[in-house]
Amino acid sequence: MSAQTTVKRSPLQLAAGLFGVTFLLVGILGFVPGITSGIEHLGFAGHHSEAMLLGVFQISTLHNLVHLIFGVLGLVAATAAPRSKMFLVLSGAVYLVLWIYGLAAGSGPANFIPLNMADNWLHFILGTVMLLSGLLLGRKGTRH
C-alpha cells in the first residue's frame, strides 16, 4: 500500500507562492538578452541604466536582484499561512512606497533603482493587489 500525502495550501499560501514564482521569473528574465533589450547597457544601479525588460520596464542589476529576493521571500512565505499574509501585506506596502518614490524621483539622480513610468504604475498595481490579497484572503484567520 502506498500512502499519499497531500498538502493543502490556503489561498494566502497560493497567492504568496504565485507572487514568489513571478518575481523569480522576472528577476531571471532581466538578465536574458533578447527578453531584455540593451542588456549591454545594464548598469548595477542608477537612472542611467538603459536596459529594458520586454522593451518597456527600465531595469538594472540591482532591480533584478530585488525581484529575485522578493521571489525567494514569497516562496519561503508560502510554506505557512501567517508568513504568507505577512509577505503579501508588507511587500504590497513596500511596492506602494516604491511607486511613490518612483513618481517623486523621476528620472533624476535620486532614481537609483532605476524606475520609469511603466515601472511606477506596475509597482502601484502590484502593491495594491498584494496588499489587498493579504488583507482579504487573510480575513478568515491564518490558521490552516
What is the pLDDT, as a whole number, of residue 67? 95
The pTM of this model reads 0.85
Query: Which residues are CB-contacts of 72 (< 8 A; sequence separation ≥ 6)?
Result: 20, 24
How many whole angstroms separate alpha carbon 64 and alpha carbon 78?
21
- Please report which helix (H) or strand (E) contains residue 36, including its range: strand 36-37
What is the pLDDT, as a whole number, of residue 130? 97
What is the pLDDT, as a whole number, of residue 142? 43
What is the pLDDT, as a whole number, of residue 106? 80
Whose cell is 538603459? That residue is 50
SS3 45: coil
For the CA atoms of 121, 27, 128, 15, what is the dihedral angle to 10 degrees? 150
Residue of 69, 74, 94, 64 whose CA lies nearest to 20: 74
What is the pLDDT, as a whole number, of residue 144? 44
- Chunked in runs of 10, what are the mean pLDDT values of the chain (144 residues)? 67 96 97 94 83 92 95 97 97 96 84 85 96 89 46
What is the pLDDT, as a whole number, of residue 66? 93
